[in-house]
Structure 1
Amino acid sequence: MAGKPVLHYLDARGRAESIRWLLAAAGVEFEEKFITSKEDLQKMRNDGVLMFQQLPLVEIDGMKLVQTRAILNYIANKYNLYGKDMKERALIDMYTEGIADLNIMVLHYPFLPPVEQETNLAQIKDKTKNRYFSAFEKVLKSHGQDYLVGNKLSKADIHLVELIYNVEEIDPSATANFPLLQALKTRISNLPTVKKFLQPGSQRKPSPDEKARQEIIKILH
């Protein structure tokens, strides 16, 4: 029997957090090997395990996978979270790309100099309300189903709920005018696997404080 997947990344959110969410939602137990110094990262590069010299890396099914989207797609395919046909997968990919666009902005926000945070937060709020959350609210309203695609849980739902949690940390009122997104968040959060992941002590990572931000910057730059 294959062993548990192993995620190599920092002890932080970054590009790996969506991988943690997806594995957890699928009910997959996984191990983490944390990169704690620049030397750790350089050793992995020297050993040739990072194809493009960057993290995250996931060891799964005898493979060493890099590139976040490739990892997420493999996990979604393996655990039946990627739709039933090409049309559904195209929608899931389209929604996921939009989610990632906003999530990158949100994840970068804590690393901005304080002088830039106010302007950036205003941009995040504007795009959340007028571009992204409004679009997903419209999708859910258009078909009246419980999930974004095919009335079945997919990686798009999981990524969207992760995004909602991330946005609400910096803007608690983000979903105030989006009742269907609120309902989706509640629905996904109550799934036993996700509920467990949201509990204290899980492998979910907190938003970085100043000390953590400096450590991450030190390792990656």
Structure 2
Amino acid sequence: MSGKPKLHYFNGRGRMEPIRWLLAAAGVEFEESYLEKKEDLTKLRKDGSLLFQQVPMVEIDGMKLVQTRAIANYISTKYNLYGKDMKERALIDMYVEGMFDLNELLMTYGYLPADQKEEYFANMMDKAENRYFPAFEKVCGKELVAQMMLLP
């Protein structure tokens, strides 16, 4: 595929959001194909596009890539966003893993029963404010972290 990368995911942020951020950081235009019906996902599964029967999936360079970290690694390497040496790549990997950990906390919240949400939210915010945001501020600056907190 020599055109724009094509992203296959539900109409939401979730596991595709880091991929969108990477493509935007690289200045790469992309297309999105939202899975709006159960049949959309079933079709991708039946035609063999999804190695592990799940999304996200990105069509790029003639490949159908799945698994968020694998997609992120490919895109960051392709567009020279993965550091100039092993030391930079190790630092990038640490921050990326931290972002994925924080994202898992956020995604889990949406699936909790109502009676567990308040306690979980307090714990999640404590971890975000005291564990993750200080680390991200060291690299990204306070302005970026403040903007992240304002995202809907």
For normalisation by structure 2, the TM-score amounts to 0.88
Q: Which runs of 5+ in 2 are unaligned?
A: none
Larger RCO (CA under 8 A, 6+ residues apart): 1
**Secondary structure in 2 matching 1:18:** helix
Cα distance between partner residues in 2 of 1:89 and 1:36: 36
How far is 1:134 from its partner?
2.5
For normalisation by structure 1, the TM-score amounts to 0.62
**Secondary structure in 2 matching 1:4:** coil
Trace 1:117-196 onto structure 2 (pairs within 5 A): 117-137=117-137, 140=138, 148=139, 180-182=141-143, 184-185=144-145
**Secondary structure in 2 matching 1:89:** helix
Percent identity over the alignment is 62
Q: Which runs of 4+ in 1 moved over 4 A?
A: none
Cα distance between partner residues in 2 of 1:128 and 1:14: 17
1:71 aligns with 2:32: no
1:59-79 per-residue CA deviation (whole Å, 9 max, x = no partner) reads 001111001001011111111
Which residue of structure 1 aligns with residue 113 of structure 2? 113
1:109-128 per-residue CA deviation (whole Å, 9 max, x = no partner) reads 23322211111111111111
How far is 1:185 from its partner?
4.7
Letter in structure 2 aligned against 1:15:
R
How far is 1:50 from its partner?
0.4
Letter in structure 2 aligned against 1:53:
Q
Contact 2:133 2:145 in 1 (8 A): no
1:140-187 per-residue CA deviation (whole Å, 9 max, x = no partner) reads 2xxxxxxx3xxxxxxxx5xxxxxxxxxxxxxxxxxxxxxx422x458x
Letter in structure 2 aligned against 1:61:
D
Letter in structure 2 aligned against 1:18:
P
Alignment coverage as a number of residue pairs: 150
